[in-house]
Amino acid sequence: MTGPPGELFDYDELRRRAAATMTAVEVDAPLVVLGSGQTLDDLRARGAGQVVRRRRGGGGVVLIQPGDLWIDWWIPPADERWTGDVRASAIAAGRWWRDALARSVQGAVEVHEGALEGATAHRAACFAGRGPGEVFVNGRKAVGVAQWRVREGTLVTSVLPARPSAALVDLLAEAPPGLAAALDHHTHATLGLTDLRALRADLDRISGPWTTLHRRLSS
């Protein structure tokens, strides 16, 4: 790969969006998403042939894979769900997920409402710690949450993975000790989820109303 990675979204288009929007995003191939403070030098062999994009907001790299349930919420300031409290925005999204998952999975579904937790070195990978709003089932992470905030609104991004993230360790130029264990998380299969369309509809109903969109990112 040569040149800087492209941005994950058209952020200028987002900033012009007046309606509160819920977007389901899909990928057709594995996608490495760098955090705002990372560069291609943080990846082994500059991504080892992977598609790499950069997001605004969030500090760590994420591996997005086909089948992941990726939901974004864009909340403009005029919407009653908007808040200037960074943690409250994330926690609200986590509670939407909690209430939807509680209808579909067995076990205790909890939202992390405290500060960021986890080894500092592991923050190279977004899914390796505990952040505000992230959702855990029986103590194991199920949904990761990140956000990007500007005066025109807040973008809350959330992902429930379809597959393990262990491959991310081999993509990092310098993977810290213990990262593989820290990246252990639930997947659709470990949660026993079979009807993702129904889960997505529950998220829409619980968190809504929204303008709903579907987006596919191609390699």
218 pLDDT more than 90: no
User: What's this model's pTM, rounded to 2 decimal places?
Assistant: 0.94
170 part of a folded domain: yes
Q: Name which of 155, 158, 181 is nearest 168 in CA terms.
A: 181
198 part of a folded domain: yes
Q: What is the CATH number of the domain that holds 71?
A: 3.30.930.10
**What does the chain look like in DSSP terms, one character per residue?**
--SPPEESS-HHHHHH--S-EEEEEEESS-EEEE-TT--GGGBGGGGTT-EEEE-SS-SSBEEE-TT-EEEEEEE-TTSTT--S-HHHHHHHHHHHHHHHHTTT-SS-EEE--SS-BS-GGGGGBGGGSB-TT-EEETTEEEEEEEEEEETTEEEEEEEE-SS--THHHHHBSSPPTTHHHHT----HHHHT---HHHHHHHHHHHH---EEEEEEE--
177 part of a folded domain: yes
Mean pLDDT (the chain, rounded): 92
Going by pLDDT thresholds of 50, 70 and 90, the confidence category of residue 8 is very high
Going by pLDDT thresholds of 50, 70 and 90, the confidence category of residue 47 is very low
Going by pLDDT thresholds of 50, 70 and 90, the confidence category of residue 183 is very high
195 against 46, higher pLDDT: 195
Q: What percent of the chain has pLDDT over 70?
A: 96
**What strands lie across the sheet with 69-75, from one edge to the other?**
109-111, 135-137, 140-150, 153-160, 69-75, 21-27, 211-217
162 part of a folded domain: yes
What domain count does the chain have?
Answer: 1
187 pLDDT more than 90: yes
49 part of a folded domain: yes
90 pLDDT more than 90: yes
112 part of a folded domain: yes
Range of the domain at 168: 6-217
1 part of a folded domain: no
